[in-house]
């Protein structure tokens, strides 16, 4: 758990990695936070185990950097399929880093565009074991000829740099009939067109 405090000990920001879904979707369950100071002065970063466990068996590595919060885009399914002359549906999921605000425009290279609203948030679901991840469905016309076609999906917020979407394949048995804990990154997003 990360906690950021000011000189008087007042808590300014906090983040924990207890939410399921972060590790499986993003591949990194570590706590992280973004904070923009509003005034000069010392800040204290506290790194601890939520259950107050500690000792030599509990090492932590702290990284402090000057960076602007951004976002990540993921797509599902990893390989959409469409009949020749029809369209495939591809979901684009938006994961906001802590501190990132604003709309995000997404588009398929040479294809349709859509926009995530500022109020669409990446947050824990009501069941506490899942995540609410904003998604937009893009309908992509199936190009000729039949076969596998690469897709590139991008997103951009305001005047920031474009971010390219990635995808992952699900591995392992389905848990309780509707979700899976592990995803493996896939090098490219492709559209398979069948006759």
> How many distinct structural domains can be found in the chain?
2
What pLDDT is attached to residue 91? 95
Terminal Cα distance for the chain, rounded: 52
Domain shared by 61 and 79, yes or no:
no
Please tell me the pTM assigned to this model.
Answer: 0.69
Domain that includes residue 161, residue range: 71-194
Domain shared by 49 and 79, yes or no:
no
Q: Is the pLDDT of residue 169 over 50?
A: yes
What pLDDT is attached to residue 67? 77
CATH label of the domain that carries residue 154: 2.60.40.10
Tell me the average pLDDT of the chain.
83
Verify cis geometry, omega within 30 degrees of 0, for the bond prior to 77. yes
Token representation of residue 143:
């190009």
pLDDT in tens, 40-84: 999 999 988 878 888 888 888 888 888 778 888 999 888 899 999
Domain shared by 107 and 189, yes or no:
yes
């Amino acid at each position: 758990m990360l906690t950021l405090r000011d000189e008087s000990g007042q808590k300014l920001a906090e983040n924990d990695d207890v939410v399921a879904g972060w590790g499986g979707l993003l591949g990194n369950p570590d706590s992280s936070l973004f904070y923009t100071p509003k005034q000069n002065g010392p800040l204290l970063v506290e790194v601890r185990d939520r259950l107050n466990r500690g000792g030599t068996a509990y090492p932590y590595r702290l990284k402090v950097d000057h960076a602007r919060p951004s976002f990540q885009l993921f797509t599902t399914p990893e390989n959409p399929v469409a009949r020749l002359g029809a369209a495939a549906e591809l979901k684009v999921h938006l994961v906001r880093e802590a501190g990132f605000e604003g709309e995000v425009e997404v588009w398929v290279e040479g294809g349709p565009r859509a926009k995530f609203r500022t109020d669409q948030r990446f947050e824990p679901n009501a069941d506490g074991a899942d995540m609410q991840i904003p998604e937009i469905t893009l309908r992509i016309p199936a190009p000729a000829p039949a076969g596998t076609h690469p897709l590139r999906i991008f997103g951009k917020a305001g005047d920031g740099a474009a971010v390219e979407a990635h995808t992952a394949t699900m591995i392992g048995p389905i848990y309780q009939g509707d979700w899976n804990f592990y995803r493996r990154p896939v090098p490219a997003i492709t559209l398979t067109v069948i006759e």
